[in-house]
Chains A and B, each alone.
Chain A
Amino acid sequence: MIASTFTGRVWKFGDDINTDLVIPNFAVLMTLEEQLRHCFSANRPGWVDEVQPGDVIIAGRNFGVGSARNIGAVFHGLGISGVVADSFNGLGLRNCINAGLPSLPCPGVLDVFDEGDVADVDWTTGDVKNAATGATAHGTPIPQALQDIVTAGGVENVLRREGYLAPR
């Protein structure tokens, strides 16, 4: 079960963070474990060496714009506890939900944090708080039916439990 809240150190990104930055062209056919090494290598070289399990991504408008590359699986694989963005691309959001990654659309969230701050987020109510400054924002949680997919640990878990996929 995924909890309704997460707390973690903030990595801040701007607008239009696209799928090709998360999974570069040369990594498209790699395994997920290999892909993790190359996340944001073009725009933030070395980031994957600094990011820690439990960290949080705070981003601007149109997060995850671009291709079907499974950004949710990469962030989940890196141990990111959740993504809060001003707005999401629909396909990017779907990939995050299907990977079991808590995701919250929250206009104005970039104003609440500086990089390295600690974020307290309830992605099921939309409450976002900067633990140090007390500044807050309020997002619009994804609908309950989609929260349920995240809480179940992602869509492949659902299919495996229901006997559509062979056990691992």
Chain B
Amino acid sequence: MGMNAIEKILAGHSEQKEVRPGDVVMVNVDVTVQFDHGRPDVLRIANPDKLVLLHDHVVPAPTVQAANNAKRMREFVERFGIENYFPVGKHGISHVLVAAEGYALPGQILVNADSHTCSSGAMNCLARGMGPSEMLYILCKGQTWYLLGPTTKVVLEGELPERVYPRDVIHYIPGQYGDFAGRNLEWHGEGLANIDVDGRLTMATISAELSAEFSLFPYDDVLARYLEGRAKWPFEPAHPDDDAEYEQVITVDLASLEPQVVLPGKVAWNSKGAREISSEGIKIDQAFIGSCANGRVSDFAIAAEILAGRQIAPGTRMIVTPGSQDILKEAIKLGYVETLMDAGAVVTNSTCGACFGGHMGLLADDEVCITASTRNFQGRMGSPKASVFMGSPATVAASAVAGVITDPRDL
């Protein structure tokens, strides 16, 4: 019996010829990414040439503690002579940078403490969040383990209708199928040809909210074009065997989808059509677009298109945070930042920021936010008494204009 693409990457990085669900697979890591911190007690590291260091969660430092952490990272960079380093000024969110700068590559294994590391699955790169202790182990030894789970094949057919986005697809699936704890997602189908790399990065990122292990997209023409002139190192893409095994197959007809809003608290079994929820007239205090999920130039473009010539509703504030310095520069050049500011939005510096309730856009008690960032947990973006809904950048922008949660097709 053959292996799927996820299993082939794991086997190819291990001493096992074949891997099966239930195996603990010991692998050699290709690329290690670390953010915001460098442990002073680390004495030796495995692969300094394949280590990428950067600042992203709270940039520039809003507290002395964050500033001290950033200082320790600079000391770490100095001590081990790390060349792949993005200081403040060249900074961006780790998952955004590793795709844009060509560090996340097809067929390779990339590790990072952060839970949204699965983002790089869009690049046909095997990646998932590892946590701080595991990162220490990998930093020192260059190896790690994965507990291989069963894989769901998701087949996308057709094309998304107007004002429906990849973000809506990745809200729809957990709404219909629940969580994928301990399981992988592998994306297939001719519909993928209509989803660009930005959209795939959104979907792979939000796969963490489905509790998936890996979320792997294929190496196809769309990805090959994206990587031209961008890939930092040579790579060998992974394709599933023809007789690969999957635990289940889910088929999604993209043309039938509507904008999907996730309700506060959790993602599994918790989404509704935007039109259905808009009838409830839920008033919003804050609208946010940003994060590793939706802080790219294409997201600025969608927001600018909706906000052009319109004003954000009185009593509502809108915050837009780019995924990197380069994205901010590009969004300024293309006029999107001016359009957003004319509508009354705040455009911030690149940081993880408000997405995790870090800084620049926290919520007060009893406030309601609609966000195109990553999480809707209780207390995620500020007060535990606030409520966080999630939608596509278009749904967020339309809701900001209306002042209530709104289907972007109805604005």
Contact = CB atoms under 8 A, between A and B. Distances in A.
Contacts of B66: 29
Interface string B88-126: 000000000000000000000000011100000000000
Interface in A1-60: 16, 18-21, 24-26, 28-30, 41-43
Interface string A66-103: 11101011000000000000011111011100110000
B41 A166 contact: yes
B134 interface: yes
Interface in B136-152: 136-137, 140-141, 145, 147, 149
A146 B134 CA distance: 12
Nearest to A98: B133
Nearest to A154: B133
A20 B65 contact: no
Contacts of A41: 384
A16 B115 CA distance: 16
A151 B326 CA distance: 46
Given A16-B268, A146-B24, A67 B133 contact: no
A105 B183 CA distance: 14
A156 interface: yes
A130 interface: no
Contacts of B179: 16, 61-62, 65
Nearest to A20: B377
A60 to B, nearest CB: 11
Given A28-B358, A29-B58, A87-B182, 14 more contacts: A19-B115, A25-B358, A25-B382, A65-B266, A73-B133, A89-B211, A91-B131, A93-B147, A95-B132, A98-B137, A142-B147, A146-B145, A154-B133, A165-B42
Interface of A: 16, 18-21, 24-26, 28-30, 41-43, 61-62, 65-68, 70, 72-73, 87-91, 93-95, 98-99, 105, 142-143, 145-146, 154-156, 158-159, 163-166
